[in-house]
Chain A
Amino acid sequence: MSRGTRGGMAQQPAVQDSEVLRRHVAAAGSLPAGIATACVELLFVDGAAVLLMADTERRWHVAASVGRWARELEEAQLTVAEGPAAEAYSRGGPVLLSDVTAQAARWPGFAAVVPAEVRALFSFPLQVGAVQFGVLDLYCCTPGGWDGLRLGTALNVVDCAAGVLISGVGSPPGDPLCWLDDLPGHTPEIDQAAGMASVQLGASLAVAYARLRGFAFASSQSLVAVAREVVAGHLRLVDDDPWWDGDVGQPPIRRG
């Protein structure tokens, strides 16, 4: 919490974190792989993995793994269907284990199959409120907790990653990494507007976020500005925005 006492002063590191993520996603050519490699660079961990939940079948798959033990770790967790990743996902908050062996009683099945080399494990849900994509697992081969700065960096990357994942929904126009400038989940108006838009469009929340983002891009406004208009009832997204089929134009809006 030490970082929190500095108020908004810590903005700069967050921007740098998102730049690193941007670069890795571009280099890897895949969001999950870019997220995992960016974490290894930014957080000095020995490995990282991205577990995603396939929406249709409610089944997990390992979307990316970086590091000697990453894949084995994830396959072990999926086999026993318990452990930090499952708990982070169901609870909607991170599970931070500075010493994996000290947690054997908490998940006996997991303790029996986790690679012995994985000594510290940090699981973060990839989510925006009720929209859940999966889990990011970071591990170290030496036990030890994280200080506030390192945890803050991890949380920034996780938020950016969730923002990037939500931008993949429905492929709105613009840079898929544009969420990094304007993260959902940090400004209540954006989350309220997503809820409203999901009702007005008859679409899921994830699609509503993407549509808001797409509208902001197409009309050259910030996402927050668009969200405030929606919440105030001045703007209502309609079902037939032309860009939704990839045709970027002036989206039709209904005012009032």
Chain B
Amino acid sequence: MKAYVYMLPTIISLAGALLCLVRRVFFEEVVSIIASVSSVFAAFTLLFLPNHFGTFLYVDGFSKIMLLLVSVVYASTVIFSTTYMKYIENPLFEKRFYYLLMNLFAFSMMFTVSVNNFGLMWVGIEATTVTSALLVATENDESSIEATWRYIIVVSVGLIISLLSNIFIYSVSGTLNFGTMLNHGFHVDRILIIGAMMAIIGYGTKAGIFPMHTWLPDVHGRAPAPVSAIFSGILLAVALYVVARVLEIVNVPMVREFAFWLGLLTVLVAAMLMVVQKHYKRLFAYSTMENMGMVLIGLSIGKYAFVGAVVLVISHAFAKSSVFYLSGNILSRYKSKKISDVKAVSKRMPFTGYNLMFSALAVTGTPPFGTFVGELLIIYGVLKYFPTFYAFLIVSFLFLAFVSVNYKVGTMVFSESDDVKVKERKRVGTIVPMVNTILAFLVIFFIPQIQELLSKGMIR
């Protein structure tokens, strides 16, 4: 199969970005929707094609899953943006620039998960910073601009660490080509171990992993809802994809334990910080951090826990993007991000209210959502390879996170208010999150296919 077929989703998003430069009314919206939906179809087709390992591309089952995930969340975000952008009173730039950056952002993420080189993966991850930074500042107020600055500086410094890790890996292997390293193998020495640990910290910065997570709540809190959704749903997962690739080539217990500890600390810190949150978008941001911590634990353990991590990434992407879309609906109606200011959502905005409750349950790992299965597989892995105490610790903090999120969302959705007039009708802004929440549930029926993709590289 020709290499360009495997690049189709990436190329389509780039073409969409370039077409956004054309000045015509609504043209950028139409083009972006067509590009994103086409990339979904292209990525879906790849699931049934054999793997492709070339000089430039490395597309196996894991890459295919990530490509499909990125394209689906990208498509839902573009569609949701068409209604949400109307609520931004003083946007930083014209609408076409918003869509241009959104398409480029998707392009850089798809590029990262398809390339066969750690150096280019680094370039792709850094490119996501360049393309997404201004999206964070779309609302054009003081704190969103400050959050953008924090994002640029913290993430760039974190990525310097991963650039250093690339140098260390190159010094040992003599190449940065992922396929070559995997096939030929090389002597594992101390410098490679240090390099791998630096990669985990560096890319972990982008994934909101403790202790370099500080940009995450600021950006998720201040960015417009669709941007928060795409950040939380897929950007962080793409950064962890690179970590997974590093763990694949540096398969050393010390490195895996290091990743496990960082994941564990991320879960603990995020769960504790969730208790004291007063703003709902920041609350959801910490919930993302907690989920990414669980994913890192799964990646560090491997085997069933790895499958669990992938299932968690997929269902979390759908559920969390839904949560952020809905938080955008709430913000546009209540004009406040404080949990205490938002009352009786189920009465004023019934579609949004009930959907938010279900999505919140999904992101906190409640059955029957895919997140539950993912977390279950990861905890099974922890029980198998670590003392029971660690599994107990993780479950306790997951429970804390569950109570924090659902109690706070519950008070927003089911509380009483004097003004209970229903002011909501079914429209794109309510349907898109509903679809994503349903997808977060449907993931459980596709676990065999996910496993097949991870082990055989394609669905037969």
Same complex origin of A and B: no
* Interface of B toward A, CB cutoff 8 Å: none
* A binding-site residues for B, Cβ under 8 Å: none
